[in-house]
Structure 1
Amino acid sequence: MQNPPLNEILIGDCREVMKTLPENYISACITDPPYNYEFIGHKWDNSEIQRRIEKVSGKGNKTLVKNIPYGSGLAGGVRNKKWYQRNRHNILDYEKWCFEWGEQLFRICKPGATVLVFNSTRTVAHVQVSLENAGFYARDMLVYKRSSGIPKGVNIKQQLEKKGYEQPEKWDGWHSCLRNEWEAICVLQKPLSNNYLETLLEYGTGLFYAKEQFGGFQSNILEGIQRDKTEDFNVHCTVKPISLMRKLVEIFVPRLENSILIDPFTGSGTTLLAAKELGINYVGVEIVPDYLEIINKRLDGISGLQGMLPLSE
């Protein structure tokens, strides 16, 4: 490739788009791919979002828009052998898909490049193993602690009451899940070039900025992050807070002239906004063409910073 992309958004399936990028080109990756329950049916676009909204319309539970789609065979029903087989096949399909894009990501990353991938507490292990199979080395698991969480499982006391069983109060407080108020971010790394110093000097990669604002050491639990008010034109339904993405870029992407951050699942572009704010070069990949206008509109409102750190030749 004569002129590899820089500060651009590429439209298409990232498994194919990343094949067009040169080897050892990318310094870091921060991305939020579809989770495995969104992956069912291999469809996650505006039409699917609208279908889910219409399905739950009037039921007072819009959270279902972001979760297991109706008609997937995993949204409910009898937990029989067939249900668990479907669930297992979904997991295997998801791991295969993660390996496919992870394999291309590994090729284009520089040695020492850090990769951060958001996922749910139930699916993050599958992502980590898939990317390890692609060649990456597991480094950590970050906790993004949200401000609230909504129980989505079965309240067994209510079900017993509805069916007329005696003494349902004995099961008061028993539920099929806990209130989930954190998301996982698995941290992986392409193997170093011998050691951290050599990798830093040759590629500008490999290290984390661990100094906190008031002099402490950065924890792997990220909390106290406020959610943003979504712009009216941004129809994406899983937008991460800009302050969260800015924090991740600050920790995991050295501000060097040759640093390039990629987000293979750009969505509405929050990761790229954080990169531009901090003066980091970026490449975005997005499979839904309709999001390109939203991304560019958001990027146009960011001026960016100057003054990168020098790196010895």
Structure 2
Amino acid sequence: MSDQFLNKIFNGDCREVLKELPDNYVSACITDPPYNYEFIGHKWDDSEIQRRKERIKDSKTLVKNIPYGSGLAGGVRNDRWYKRNRENILEYEDWCFQWATELFRVCKPGGTVLVFNSTRTVAHVQVALERAGFYARDIVVYRRSSGIPKGINMQKKLEKLGHQNPEELDGWHSCLRSEWEAICVLQKPLKNNYTETLLEYGTGLFYTKMPDGGFQSNILENIKRDKNSDYNVHCTVKPLDLMNKLVDIFVPRTKGSIVIDPFAGSGTTLVAAKNYGINYIGIEVEPSYIDIIERRLLESSDLPKSLALF
């Protein structure tokens, strides 16, 4: 095993950093990359986050993560709008394919990859990773505790425009209330079957036994939110209980097991891996987040979990 990569965070573009890792090296990947709204036309770094926050600080807008000026934040739904929207999706899918190609190389056979994404574009992420060689296994539903409608309330819109009988459009909106996020589950092809893959690489299986003895569902809910420390300024921190649960289910607790997060953010995946005594590798493009990750790792402590070595 190449120990120089273990339990470290690397600053850089994961498409380049992944090239430094050996073939068939990591056992699992759990990651939360920028969604395509965040991707188009802007570098995804802290200065861009702050720019967006400032733009909506005194605004009533509910769509706070779409880059202003991207052509996706509003406007007339004409041919140009839909063309730009489609180009954005294809560009995003190609970007996912680029990092997925290197990720495929470094994953062991049977290695499981989990990628968070929006319900609107998770299919494109799955297609990109399938193009890179992965095999689609599932979509896990992370049900959040609440969701806010973000579309048009047509009754109120017509009231403002002075139309007669706007109440006839009561209940008609442009979208549903969103209260879940998609987690795309893929796997690098096995070596012949699950048994051979497990015995040679320690990968391929999911841990499905729940604390009450039941069989684990692919819907994860009733997960409490964290109260983030003042120093953790990342804008999309996932709950630690959620990441602990994903590590528990999808990361093998076998000798030599490694979990990687190519979009480490504030490091929640890495903290969860440390909680389980599992080796981790983090990659993060924004330099200011590295200190956040390292501080969180220092403050975390291993849970009383033991690796099942064989």
Matched with 1:37 is 37
Matched with 1:69 is 67
Matched with 2:135 is 137
What CA deviation, in whole Å up to 9, does each residue of 1:37-89 have, x standing for no partner?
0111142211111111111122245x533x21211111000000000000010
Is the 1:146–1:223 contact (alpha carbons within 8 Å) kept by the matching residues of 2? yes
Task: Please show how residues 1-313 of structure 1 align to structure 2 within 5 Å.
Answer: 4-61=4-61, 63-65=62-64, 67-305=65-303, 307-311=306-310
Distance 1:6 1:292 in 2: 16
- SS of alignment partner, residue 235 of structure 1: coil
Is the 1:103–1:134 contact (alpha carbons within 8 Å) kept by the matching residues of 2? yes
Q: TM-score, normalised by structure 2?
A: 0.97
* Paired letter, 1:310: L
What CA deviation, in whole Å up to 9, does each residue of 1:86-112 have, x standing for no partner?
001001100000000000000000000
Distance 2:101 2:290 in 1: 25
* Paired letter, 2:24: N
Distance 2:254 2:27 in 1: 10
What CA deviation, in whole Å up to 9, does each residue of 1:148-172 have, x standing for no partner?
0011111111111111111000001
Q: Following TM superposition, where does structure 1 have runs of at least 4 consecutive aligned residues deviating by more than 3 angstroms?
A: 1-4
Is the 1:142–1:186 contact (alpha carbons within 8 Å) kept by the matching residues of 2? yes
Is the 1:4–1:21 contact (alpha carbons within 8 Å) kept by the matching residues of 2? no
Distance 1:64 1:145 in 2: 19
Shift of 1:3: 5.1
* Paired letter, 2:260: I
What CA deviation, in whole Å up to 9, does each residue of 1:150-200 have, x standing for no partner?
111111111111111110000011000000000000100000001001000
Is the 1:4–1:22 contact (alpha carbons within 8 Å) kept by the matching residues of 2? no
Q: How many residues align?
A: 309
What CA deviation, in whole Å up to 9, does each residue of 1:115-138 have, x standing for no partner?
000001001000000000000000
Is the 1:149–1:181 contact (alpha carbons within 8 Å) kept by the matching residues of 2? yes
* Paired letter, 1:64: V
* Paired letter, 1:249: V
Distance 1:77 1:252 in 2: 42
Q: TM-score, normalised by structure 1?
A: 0.96
Amino-acid identity (%): 70
Is the 2:63–2:150 contact (alpha carbons within 8 Å) kept by the matching residues of 1? no
Which consecutive residues of structure 2, in runs of 5 or more, have no partner in the other structure?
Answer: none
Distance 1:163 1:300 in 2: 56
Which consecutive residues of structure 1, in runs of 5 or more, have no partner in the other structure?
Answer: none
Distance 2:36 2:95 in 1: 10
Distance 2:227 2:168 in 1: 42
- SS of alignment partner, residue 229 of structure 1: coil
